[in-house]
Amino acid sequence: MIPGLRLRQTRERLGLTYRDVEKASYQVAGNRGRSDFIVHISRLSEIENHGAIPGAHKIYSLAAIYHLDPINVFEWYDIPVANHFHEGAELPGRNTHMAAPPRTLRLPLRFDPAFDPRRCELLSRMVESWSELEGAFLRPEPHCQYGYIGLDDHMMEPLLRPGSLVLVDCSRREVSNGGWANEYERPIYFVDLRDSYVCAWCVEDSKQLILQPHSLSPCRPRIMRCPDEAEIVGRVTGVVTRLATR
């Protein structure tokens, strides 16, 4: 169905006139402090009747006024927002950076009765059916964020391979200078270098932050002034990595 027609039908089911929508959009614009959210009568007519494509701010206003999910409205206009994570995974970046999480996750719904968790097996053979689950249900805690290890960031290789996605606990920003038994227990930190990001082992000495690479990494240690040149974003608490690019 044509997106403009869907919007018109939604408006009519709510019993709203063009003027009602325009008036409500002024309130949204007032709340947000930006005139971009205003949907004038003439613009709404073009959207509904002549295939005009509304901008992001107007889609937000219409979704709010019509009590719609703006993500669904974007999809009416063939903008698959839910696929942004998987599509972006095929377009890796060269630099380490913070990353948005997936909106939906594909999870096994029912396992084969012969499934034995003690054996190593291909997951596709063990699962009878799959289902999509909203990523909101599996989002990390509010104090956690996702980070992406850039293709040019070899600081923690091979422990953290370039192209990995890491979970960063932003509530754990204090550097631990000892207390681990091996390199797998040693905390890894996601560090803001003001003009870039990096993942590294860290040692804090007075107002200096020493970034230490993995012993097998080609990178060298770096000494940064803290917090002028570097600041801990958080501690890496999880990782998803690819073992091969092809």
Range 3-76: architecture per CATH: Orthogonal Bundle (1.10)
Give the span between the Cα atoms of 27 and 109, in whole angstroms: 44
Give the span between the Cα atoms of 122 and 79, in whole angstroms: 33
pTM for the whole structure:
0.60
Q: Find out whether 66 and 11 touch, Cβ atoms under 8 Å.
A: yes
Q: Which fold has domain 144-240?
A: Umud Fragment, subunit A (2.10.109)
Give the span between the Cα atoms of 231 and 173, in whole angstroms: 9
User: pLDDT tens, position by position, for the chain (246 residues)?
Assistant: 799 999 999 999 889 999 999 999 999 999 999 999 999 999 999 999 999 999 999 999 999 999 998 988 999 999 988 777 777 767 777 888 877 766 665 555 566 676 665 555 455 555 655 555 444 445 556 788 888 888 889 999 999 988 888 889 999 999 988 888 999 999 999 999 988 899 999 999 888 999 999 999 999 999 999 889 999 999 999 887 766 555
Q: What are the residue ranges spanned by the domains of the chain?
A: 3-76, 102-138, 144-240
